[in-house]
Structure 1
Amino acid sequence: MAPAPPARCLPQSALADLADVPATSRWVRSGGTRLHVLDYGGPGVPLVVLPGITSPAITMDFVARELTDLVRPLVVDVRGRGLSDAGGSYSLEEYAEDTESVITGLGLDRPLLFGHSMGARIAAVTAVRRKVAVRGTVLGDPPMSGPGRGPYPTTLDAFLGQLAQAVRGTDADEVAQAWPRWPRPEQALRARWLASCAKDAIAATHRGFENEDFFHWWPSVPGPTALLYGADSPVVTAQGAQEAARLHPSAAFRKIPDAGHMLFWDNPPVALAALREALRPMLT
């Protein structure tokens, strides 16, 4: 008999958050995995949004709702997070297959892809695989760790410690100890939703940050593509940004001042303006 999957939980207060989100829940299947997507609707070009390692879709709501005049955001609960099923290998190519299933399952015509952190890696791999047609990609602070490179700057123990707090029951004050710069509503939202992330999904993805090489895929990402990174990010350092520019000279780059890895949480107005600026020329 297969072992039971690790426990995931959502308090009633977390589910109630969905009532305040101006989006419709959509469901698709990727093989046997059910994936949940928040669809903000509208007539604009679809923008598939892929969040980070411990970020359920709802934690990107404050970003998505600022884009609805420009695009139709669809934010994915990546497998093992939020309301999506857990299970599988959590490899970059499996995540890309899930993204392809979202695009085909929802009938999205040449969407844009935007990913932050883990999601940026997924967006890059999805574009390179060319199994679905996309208009362009925007990558937000993609982890550049990998074989022969330095380790990912946040340890797995740190992630799992925060997850344990969430499973036990946490609040915005405790979240602020790890993420002091975040807006208070986002600290509170993380406190309610982090426990929806599967421990094995976090652990496998963290291993991938050090075993799967972003630079294996990056030079082949088709244009147009843009890379946003934090001026103070330990994930995309100045050296990493220079290497990325050298390997993909046609890509657009934008450094977000007064921001670390968590671009939109650290400096929301500037990061949002940069994302909008990156997306606009891709809408034609």
Structure 2
Amino acid sequence: MNSTFLYGANVHANGIRQHYLRYGGDNGARATRPAVVVIPGITSPAATWGFVGETFGRQFDTYVLDVRGRGLSEASATLDYSLDAQAADVIALAQTLGLERYALVGHSMGARIAIRAARHAPRGLVSTVLVDPPVSGPGRRAYPAKLPWYVDSIRLATRGTDAEGMRAFCPTWTEEQLRLRAQWLHTCDERAMRASFEGFHTDDIHADLPRLSVPSLLITAERGDVVLDADVREMQALAPALLHVRVRSAGHMIPWDNEAGFYEAFGDFLGAKLV
């Protein structure tokens, strides 16, 4: 099947350099549908989500973002890595790209960014998809992943490692997935990761949910304990229109574990089926 990848590019938006990968384009039937901005998680540069971008690009004009401090987007010792800054980045990116109608699809940290961005009801935002967002926060149970897992893997990648080095951290991943993580993980700034991990426990995304005014879909993993059934019920009580789909045979990294099930979970929510 032909690739839908178009190019990688940088823009200056919200005062920083933001890098993204574009798939699909805005021609044909895609021109009639909202664009899609994919926001990856805490240690997932855009390049590691390229296989998802390829699939989305068949139906949508798709932009996979390097969140600040990751991949080829700006990073520094003085950069603000807060959730508010990340949400402002996404809104500014869409405005700078001139996206008249767009959906946010965020995974993990990216889902929390999407929730915070949607709270501001930015012009052009028509829907959000929240993929297994950490539900930790003030007074809530901790995020199940531990900080040393991130620190140790980033430092190993920064020194230089291969797929075998990553296997200890991601034992169920394929050789291709491990190679890609070994190649790109060093571009995740440890300062950015630490700030985001701390934010998992200090930022209250539940307070944002009642202000989720666009149609929204929650996609969660059947395995793992990031989002439990009780968490889904609470989120839907706060945002009654929030739809929910669980993906079978998948842990937190849903498209890595069950790629077909991940795409099927969207149905036609975005305006066209992915598979």
Pick aligned residue for 1:81 from 66, 70, 88: 70
Report the residue type matching 2:137 in the other structure. G
Q: Is contact 2:210–2:238 with CA below 8 Å preserved after alignment?
A: yes
Structure 1 residue 69, shift from structure 2 partner: 2.1
Does residue 42 of structure 2 align to residue 62 of structure 1?
no
* Structure 2 residue 168 is matched with structure 1 residue 177: yes
Alpha-carbon distance, 1:221 to partner: 1.1
Counterpart CA distance in 2 for 1:250 and 1:101 is: 26
Secondary structure of the residue aligned to 1:95 is: helix
Say whether 1:98 aligns with 2:89.
yes
- Rounded Cα–Cα distance in structure 2 between residues aligned with 1:276 and 1:97: 29
Relative to structure 1, the CA distance from residue 232 to residue 276 in structure 2 (aligned partners, 3 Å threshold; closer, same or farther) is same
TM-score normalised by length of structure 2: 0.91
Q: Secondary structure at the match of 2:241?
A: coil
Q: Is the 8 A contact 1:25 1:39 kept in 2?
A: yes
Residue 243, structure 1, aligned to residue 268, structure 2? no
Structure 1 consecutive aligned stretches of length 4 or more whose deviation exceeds 4 Å: none
Deviation at 1:219, TM superposition (A): 2.2
d(CA) in 1 for partners of 2:175, 2:55:
18
CA contact (8 A) 1:54 1:81 kept: yes
Aligned equivalent of 1:8: none
- CA gap of 1:269–1:183, structure 2 versus 1, over 3 A, is farther
* 1:165 to 2:156 alignment: yes
**Residues 86 and 132 (structure 1 numbering): CA distance in 2 closer, same or farther, change over 3 Å?**
farther
How far did 1:213 drift?
Answer: 1.3
Counterparts of 1:177-216 in structure 2, within 5 Å, are 177-216=168-207
CA-CA distance at 1:223 after TM superposition:
2.5
Q: CA RMSD in A?
A: 1.9
Counterparts in 2 of 1:242 and 1:31: CA distance versus 1, 3 Å: closer
Distance 1:54 1:264, change over 3 A: same
How far apart are 1:225 and its partner, in Å? 0.5
Q: Percent identity?
A: 38
User: Which range is displaced more, 273-282 or 95-104?
Assistant: 273-282
Deviation at 1:276, TM superposition (A): 4.7
Q: Are 1:228 and 1:256, in contact at CA under 8 Å, matched by a contact in 2? A: yes
C-alpha displacement of 1:280: 2.9
- Distance across 2 between alignment mates of 1:184 and 1:218: 38
Give the superposition deviation at 1:110. 1.5
Q: Secondary structure at the match of 2:8?
A: strand
Q: Measure how far apart 1:132 and its partner are.
A: 2.9
- Structure 1's unaligned 5+ residue stretches are 1-19
Q: Which amino acid aligns with 1:238?
A: D
Distance 1:64 1:213 in 2: 29
Deviation string, structure 1 residues 176-201 (Cα, Å, up to 9, x no partner): 22222223212110010000010100
What is the CA-CA distance between 1:32 and the residue it aligns to? 3.2
Equivalent-residue separation in structure 2 for 1:205 and 1:132 (angstroms): 26
| Cα contact 1:39–1:75 (8 A) shared by 2 | yes
Structure 2: runs of 5 or more not aligned: none
Bigger mean CA offset, 47-56 vs 82-91 = 82-91
Match 1:127 to one of 110, 118, 129: 118
Cα gap change, 1:197 to 1:270, in 2 (>3 Å): same
TM-superposed deviation, 1:21: 8.3
Give yes or no for contact 1:37–1:77 (8 Å, CA) kept in 2. yes
One-letter code of the match for 1:54? T
The equivalent of 1:10 in structure 2 is none
* SS of the residue 2:168 aligns to: helix
Deviations 1:126-158 (A, max 9, x none): 111123321101010011000000111111111
